[in-house]
Amino acid sequence: MVSRPVSSYPLSLINTLISAGLLYIHLYPKAVLALGWNPPFRAYTAAVWLFFASNVFLIIVPFIPPAPGYEVFEHIPYYVSELYNLRLEFEFVKNVTVDHLASYSCLASWDWGLGF
């Protein structure tokens, strides 16, 4: 059985979000310039697209069924570990961002709209 460390799947999710943010900055530079931010270094757009595509690939591939005759686990479906990793990741994001940021007085009055 070939397995990946538990940390690699959540890391792929985080890297996908980071690269999506970089793509947003590249596609809508006026939004960033309106904030008055001028970064000292800009990543090449092609490199950001490649990083984004590779991380999307790493997120999708574990959900593709294995070849016939090859079973990853004996008694559970092959995608259970990745679903569990997704659940842990979303639970972490919920706990860190919503609960901790809401404790700040300036952010406590915001309607996050996340349904948590």
Cβ neighbour number for residue 87 with a 10 Å cutoff: 10
Is-contact 23 52, C-beta < 8 A? Answer: yes
Residue 89 CB-half CA count within 13 A: 19
> How much is the pLDDT for 2?
46
pLDDT of residue 116: 44
Domain boundary assignment for the chain: 8-108
- pLDDT tens per residue, range 53-107: 999 998 888 888 878 887 777 778 877 877 877 787 777 766 666 555 555 555 4
Q: What is the pLDDT of residues 13-62, one digit of tens each?
A: 889 989 998 998 888 888 777 777 777 888 899 999 999 999 999 888 88
